[in-house]
Amino acid sequence: MAKEVFKSVATLLEGVTVECVSRDHKFILDEPPELGGADKGMNPCEALLSALGACKCIVAGAFSKAHGIDIQDLKIEVEGDLDPDGFLGKNKEAKIGFSEIRTTINIKSSSDEDKIKEFIEFVEKTCPIADTLVNTANYTTDVNIEG
Amino acid sequence: MAKEVFKSVATLLEGVTVECVSRDHKFILDEPPELGGADKGMNPCEALLSALGACKCIVAGAFSKAHGIDIQDLKIEVEGDLDPDGFLGKNKEAKIGFSEIRTTINIKSSSDEDKIKEFIEFVEKTCPIADTLVNTANYTTDVNIEG
C-alpha cells in the first residue's frame, strides 16, 4: 500500500483568526462578525465545502481525457445546512456539524449526455474528500501542554 | 431549529487548478506536480485538514474565556494517511479517501493541566468540522449539463 501523509498546521492568531499552512501554501480562516470573528477569510465550514467542490473539480479535470469527456466549463456549487445552536450550546438536540451537504455540478460539454452522467458518477465515487466525508476515517488526538 | 446555509463555488481553471469562492473570500486549490497539478495552492486533502485544525482552534479561542482557560499559544497539527493508488485506480482494495487523521494540539497556557485537558475534550466534541467527519451528513448531487 502506497500510503502518503498529508499535513497542515493551524495557528490561532488574534481573536478567532487562524493561519493554516501546508507545505509552502497558506490561507487564513476566520469567522464572520455574527459568529464572533474579524472576517479575514472563509470560515472552516466554507473551507470544507470548498475542499469538497474543488476535489470533485480536480478528479473531473484529471480523468476527463481518459473517459473521452470534453469539459468546456465546470463550476461546482456546494452548500451545507448547519444549526449553530448546536455548537453554541443553545440546543442539545442540534447536530454539531453539517446535517446535509448538497452538490450541484454545472458542466458545459459537447460530449454525449449519458456519457457525461456516467462520468459524473465516476467522479463522485473517485473523490477522496467525498469518500472521507462518507466513509469515516480513524481519528486520534494528542495534546502537548506547555505551562 | 436555526438552520444556517453555508455555500462555496468551485470553478475549474487551467489543468487541475480550482478557484474556490465563499461570500467575498476566495482561495486557490491545486495539486503538486507529482499529482498532475501546477501547485498554485494546497490540494483539497490539505485544505480539509486545514479546515479541521482551524475549526478546533476557533472553538478553543471562542470558548476559552467561558471555561476559564488562558491560551497563550495554540498550534494544531493535523495529518492524514491516504493511499493515492485508490483514486488513481491502481488498487481497488485501497480506500479512496483518508484512512486515518491524527490531530496534535500544542497549547501554551498557565491554567491547570487537568482543566486544560477537560477543555480540549470539550473542543473536540464541539467542533463542527470534526462532527461532520465522524457523524456523516446526508449527501445529494444534482447535475446541470449545457451542450
Dist. CA A133–CA A114, nearest whole Å: 27
Q: Between vectors from CA B83 to CA B85 and to CA A69, what angle results, nearest 5°?
A: 45
How would you label A29-67 residue by residue, b for 16+ Cβ within 10 Å and e otherwise?
Answer: bbbeeebebebbbbbbbbbbbbbbbbbbbbbbbbbbeee
From chain A residues 18-47, the ones with a CB under 8 A of any chain B CB are: 18, 20, 22-23, 25, 27, 29, 31-32, 36-37, 41-47
User: Cell triple for residue B11?
Assistant: 470553478
- pLDDT at A1 > cutoff 80: no
Point out which residues pair with A18 in neighbouring strands: A12, A29
Asked if B8 lies within 8 A of A44 by C-beta distance, the reply is no
pLDDT at B141 over 90: yes
- Helix (H) or strand (E) run with residue B18 in it: strand B18-22
pLDDT digits (tens, 9 = 90+) for B61-115: 999 999 999 999 999 999 999 999 999 999 999 999 999 999 999 999 999 999 9
* Contact status, residue B71 vs residue B102, Cβ threshold 8 Å: no
Predicted confidence at residue B1, as pLDDT, reads 56
User: Considering only residues 74 to 133 of chain B, which have any Cβ-Cβ distance to chain A shorter than 8 Å?
Assistant: 74-87, 89, 91, 94-110, 113, 116-117, 120, 124-133
* Mean pLDDT of the residues in chain B: 97
Give the CA distances from residue A34 to residues A20, A78, B91, in Å, rounded to whole numbers and listed in that order. 22, 22, 46
pTM over 0.95? The answer is: yes
pLDDT at A68 over 80: yes
Whole-number percent of chain B with pLDDT over 90: 96
Tell me the nearest-neighbour CA distance from B68 into chain A, angstroms. 15
SS3 content of chain A, % helix, strand, coil (to 5): 35, 30, 35
Q: How many residues does chain A have?
A: 147
Nearest residue of B to residue A100, measured between CA atoms: B138
pLDDT(B57) > 70 = yes
Is A5 within 8 Å of B143 when comparing Cβ atoms? no
Residue indicated by cell numbers 475534550: B121
Q: What is the pLDDT of residue A2?
A: 80
* Chain B CB contacts of A99 below 8 Å: 3, 137-138
pLDDT given at position B2 = 80
- In this prediction, residues A20-32 reach a mean pLDDT of 98
Prediction ipTM score: 0.98
Planar angle of CA B61, B64, B68, nearest 5 degrees: 160
Q: What's the distance, Cα to Cα, between the start and end of chain B in Å? A: 41
The whole-number average pLDDT for the span A76-94 is 96
Cα–Cα distance, B41 to A37 (Å, whole number): 24
Interval B105-128 mean pLDDT: 98
pLDDT-above-70 percentage for chain B: 99
Closest CA to B63 of B21, B11, B121: B121
Q: What is the mean pLDDT of residues B121-141?
A: 98
* Residue carrying the nine cell digits 509552502: A24
Inter-chain CB proximity A58 and B31 less than 8 Å: yes
Q: Which CATH class is domain A43-134?
A: alpha beta
Q: Which three cell numbers stand for residue B30?
A: 491545486
Average pLDDT over residues A11-37: 96
pLDDT digits (tens, 9 = 90+) for A102-147: 999 999 999 999 999 999 999 999 999 999 999 999 999 999 999 8
